[in-house]
Amino acid sequence: MLIGLFTELDGAGGVQRAGRHLASVLSDFAASRGIECRILSLNDAPELQRLTVAGREIVFTGSERAKSRFVATAIRAARRKSAKGKDNVKLVIAGHPNFAPVVRAMKLAAPKLKTIVCTHGVEVWEPMTRMRRNALRRANIVLAPSKFTADHVVGDQGVAAEKVRVLPWALDPQFEALAPNAARSPVPPNFPQGRIVLTVGRWREDERYKGTDTLITALPRLLTRWPELQLVAVGEGDDRDWLEDLAKESGVARHVHFLSGLSYAELASCYGHCEIFAMPSRGEGFGLVYLEAMACGKPVVGGAHGGAPEVIDDGRTGYLVQHGDAVQLATAIETLMLNPEMEEEMGRRGKQRVENEFRFNIFAKSFKKILRELCES
């Protein structure tokens, strides 16, 4: 029996998307071996739900943010006997390190349980609580999307190096299908004309590390040469008012456009119609938005921090800049805009890299290998 634990599957965000990918491969692996698969979500609605990823239907139940219900359901699944009344040998995959204590409790209820815990980024870059750290150390395998995060799992959390596997996240299969026609797709309402720099990410005070504010403060340096330049920020969040005020204070409010509530197809068209994608973040464990931009053939400007340098090849598929450095950020964008042939070549290299390294089928193959390793051990 395979059991998957996830924060949220039917929602926006990189962690949610990675969770859908894991759940899809988990379901496919279980079906190919005739194994029962139970998928649980903490934050989704409690009724039985279905999603389709890469042609595979994911069936799951939520707990509507009720932690006690979620934990109780997970432990019951671990204790469940086979049809003949015997203990099943089970494998549980936790889609977030905060679930490590839940996995530990399941292991106490079912001692034969094999365990995998997935990490993402900032949540393991600094010491965790003792309970979470100790539970994480007891997992059979800990996954990390980048070597940077894997090093923190070992160095900051004390997980044995031989337990850690680097499994890069993948471009979403739905986006993979949309990318080839993104530049020909209609743009969403209020999408501006002109030369477009695009950024995508949540607007929240605790996620200001993504660098949307630095993009806004870099604009005045660029508008003196390119008065038609526009910054399009796609996302959601309660920090929008703060960003709008910053744009007004910087004198660039007419050049900053906030778009929310977009469909996946509309988001793809934003990538297709921009000239440069930029998210100068210091807190990305990986950065799925970089993959989306690269898949659409766009050069990418990212932060020289976290897992981003493992996705962006500095000087070949884009540029890496220091977080908060508006001058360096403006220089990187200016260099690309002054050299359209180089800009196009960087975009081409990025697209090729996504096709070679970050397609969903590559991720699925690597994850299934890890699942086989535990199931057959």
The CATH number that applies at residue 187 is: 3.40.50.2000
Examine the domain organization and report whether 220 and 166 are in the same domain.
no
- What lies within 8 Å, CB to CB, of 240 at 6+ separation is 203, 258, 260
Q: What range defines the domain where residue 277 resides? A: 174-357
Structure tokens at 60: 């799951």
What's the confidence (pLDDT) of residue 377? 75
Question: In 3-state terms, what secondary structure has residue 147?
Answer: helix
Examine the domain organization and report whether 343 and 210 are in the same domain.
yes
User: By the 8 A CB rule, do 93 and 374 touch?
Assistant: no
- What lies within 8 Å, CB to CB, of 2 at 6+ separation is 26, 29, 30, 35, 36, 37, 38, 90, 91, 92, 93, 371
Examine the domain organization and report whether 12 and 119 are in the same domain.
yes
Given a cut of 70, the residues of the chain with pLDDT beneath it are 82-89
Domains of the chain: total: 2
User: By the 8 A CB rule, do 146 and 310 touch?
Assistant: yes
Q: Are strands 48-53 and 56-62 parallel, antiparallel or unpaired?
A: antiparallel
**What is the number of residues in the chain?**
377
Examine the domain organization and report whether 30 and 144 are in the same domain.
yes
The pTM (predicted TM-score) of the whole model is 0.93
- The burial class, CB within 10 Å (0-12 / 13-18 / 19+), for 171 is buried
Question: From the centroid of its chain, how far is CA 221?
Answer: 31
List own/partner pairs for 321-325 with CB under 8 A and 24 or more apart. 321/280, 323/209, 323/211, 323/214, 323/280, 323/281, 323/282, 324/211, 324/214, 324/280, 324/282, 325/214, 325/280
Examine the domain organization and report whether 225 and 153 are in the same domain.
no
Question: From the centroid of its chain, how far is CA 288?
Answer: 5
Q: Are strands 256-259 and 229-234 parallel, antiparallel or unpaired?
A: parallel
Examine the domain organization and report whether 352 and 365 are in the same domain.
no
What's the confidence (pLDDT) of residue 87? 58
Examine the domain organization and report whether 103 and 55 are in the same domain.
yes
Examine the domain organization and report whether 22 and 143 are in the same domain.
yes
Integer Cα distance of 206 and 199 in angstroms: 17
Examine the domain organization and report whether 353 and 364 are in the same domain.
no
* Phi, psi dihedral angles at 30 (to 5 degrees): -65, -45
Examine the domain organization and report whether 53 and 112 are in the same domain.
yes
Examine the domain organization and report whether 42 and 148 are in the same domain.
yes
Output the CA–CA distances (angstroms, integers) from residue 376 to 42, 219, 371, 373, in the order listed: 29, 55, 9, 6
What's the confidence (pLDDT) of residue 333? 98
Specify which residues 87 forms β-bridges with.
81
Examine the domain organization and report whether 51 and 162 are in the same domain.
yes
Question: From the centroid of its chain, how far is CA 171?
Answer: 9
What's the confidence (pLDDT) of residue 62? 95
Closest C-alpha among 311, 314, 268, 347 to residue 121: 311
Where does 106-249 show beta strands of DSSP type E?
Answer: 114-118, 141-144, 164-166, 195-200, 229-234
